[in-house]
C-alpha cells in the first residue's frame, strides 16, 4: 500500500474517522495519563497499523509483534533489575533478538555468498546456503526504533512504558512504519495520552505537509527513479562514467524525496 495510492488515502480516511469517532463517544477527563478513551483510541490505531502492515504480507506481522513484545519486556526487565549485570543481560536479549532477525532477513545471503567468493579466491569451492526469504518491509526502521527505546531505558534517559498498548502504538504506527523516520520514544510516547484537538491552523499545516510530501514523491522521486536511477543501476555498462556518477547522486535525491 503506497503512500501515494488511492488505497492508502482510503485507509487513512477510515482510520481518521474511527479515531475521531472514538474521541467523541464520551467526554474526556483530564486525568494525566489516564484520560478516558485514550487507550481505546490507541488500541484502534494499533490494530489499524497491524492491518496496514498485513496488507503487504500477513505472514510477517509476527516479526513486528515479536520485536514489540521483546522490547516491551526488556524495558521493564532493565528497569526492575538491581544489578548492572542483570540490566546488561536484558539489553543483550533485546540486541540479540532484534539484530538476529534483521541479520537473518537482510544480511544472511550477502555474507553467505561473500564467504563463498572469498574462499574461492584460495581455491576452495563451496556452495554456501542461500535462504529464499522475502525482506520484510520496514524491518530496519522498526528494529532500530525498538532498540533505541531499550537503550534509552538502559541508560536511564526514560522510564519504561507500562501500558502495552502505548508501546504497540509506538512501534507499529503506520505513518512511519515502513519508510521511517525512526522516532525516539522520548519524543512520541509523552504525546500519546494527551487529549487530541482540531483547529484550522493545525489541519492546514498537516495538509500542507502531506501535499509537500506527495510532490516530492510523485514529481521528484518517482521521476528520477524511472528516468535515470533504475536505468543506470540495471545496466551501468551502457552508461559513461559521468552518467553513472549522476545516477548515484540522483539516487540520493530519490531517497531524500
Would you write out the chain's pLDDT as a tens digit for each of its 257 residues?
777 788 888 999 999 999 888 877 654 544 444 455 678 889 999 999 999 999 988 889 999 999 999 999 999 999 999 999 999 999 999 999 999 999 988 888 877 878 877 877 777 777 777 778 888 888 999 999 999 999 999 999 999 999 999 999 999 999 888 877 888 888 888 888 777 777 888 889 988 988 998 888 888 888 888 888 899 888 888 888 898 899 888 888 888 77
Nearest by Cα to 170 from 146, 199, 151 = 146
**pLDDT for position 200:** 83
**pLDDT for position 49:** 95
**pLDDT for position 32:** 46
**pLDDT for position 36:** 57
Peptide bond into 132 cis (omega under 30): no
Residue 143 near residue 98 (C-beta atoms within 8 A): yes
pTM above 0.85, yes or no: no
Residue 193 near residue 38 (C-beta atoms within 8 A): yes
Q: Could you read off the pLDDT of 120-137 as tens digits, one per residue?
A: 777 777 777 777 888 888
**pLDDT for position 33:** 43
How many C-beta atoms surround the C-beta of residue 146 within 10 A?
Answer: 26
In terms of C-beta density within 10 A (0-12 exposed, 13-18 middle, 19 or more buried), how is residue 240 classed?
A: exposed
Tally the residues of the chain: 257
Distance of alpha carbon 244 from alpha carbon 255, whole angstroms: 17
| Angle at which helices 38-54 and 61-80 cross, to 10° | 140
Cβ neighbors of 102 (< 8 A, separation 6 or more) are 139, 140, 143
**pLDDT for position 28:** 52
Amino acid at each position: 500500500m503506497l503512500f501515494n495510492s488511492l488505497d492508502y488515502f482510503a485507509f487513512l480516511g477510515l482510520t481518521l474517522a474511527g479515531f475521531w469517532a472514538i474521541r467523541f463517544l464520551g467526554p474526556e477527563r483530564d486525568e494525566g495519563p489516564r484520560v478516558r478513551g485514550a487507550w481505546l483510541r490507541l488500541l484502534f490505531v494499533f490494530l489499524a497499523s497491524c492491518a496496514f502492515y498485513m496488507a503487504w504480507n500477513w505472514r510477517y506481522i509476527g516479526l513486528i509483534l515479536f520485536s514489540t513484545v521483546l522490547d516491551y519486556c526488556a524495558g521493564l526487565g532493565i528497569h526492575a533489575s538491581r544489578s548492572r549485570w542483570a540490566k546488561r543481560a536484558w539489553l543483550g536479549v533485546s540486541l540479540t533478538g532484534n539484530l538476529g532477525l534483521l541479520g537473518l532477513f537482510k544480511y544472511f545471503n550477502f555474507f553467505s555468498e561473500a564467504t563463498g567468493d572469498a574462499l574461492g579466491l584460495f581455491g576452495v569451492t563451496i556452495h554456501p546456503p542461500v535462504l529464499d526469504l522475502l525482506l520484510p518491509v520496514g524491518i530496519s526502521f522498526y528494529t532500530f526504533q525498538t532498540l533505541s527505546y531499550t537503550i534509552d531505558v538502559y541508560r536511564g534517559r526514560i522510564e519504561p512504558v507500562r501500558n502495552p498498548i502505548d508501546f504497540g502504538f509506538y512501534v507499529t504506527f503506520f505513518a512511519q512504519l515502513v519508510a521511517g523516520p525512526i522516532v525516539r520514544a522520548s519524543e512520541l510516547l509523552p504525546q500519546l495520552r494527551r487529549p487530541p484537538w482540531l483547529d484550522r491552523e493545525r489541519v492546514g499545516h498537516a495538509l500542507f505537509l502531506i501535499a509537500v510530501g506527495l510532490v516530492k514523491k510523485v514529481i521528484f522521486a518517482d521521476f528520477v527513479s524511472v528516468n535515470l536511477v533504475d536505468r543506470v543501476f540495471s545496466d551501468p555498462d551502457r552508461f559513461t562514467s559521468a552518467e553513472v556518477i549522476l545516477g548515484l547522486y540522483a539516487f540520493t535525491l530519490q531517497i531524500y524525496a
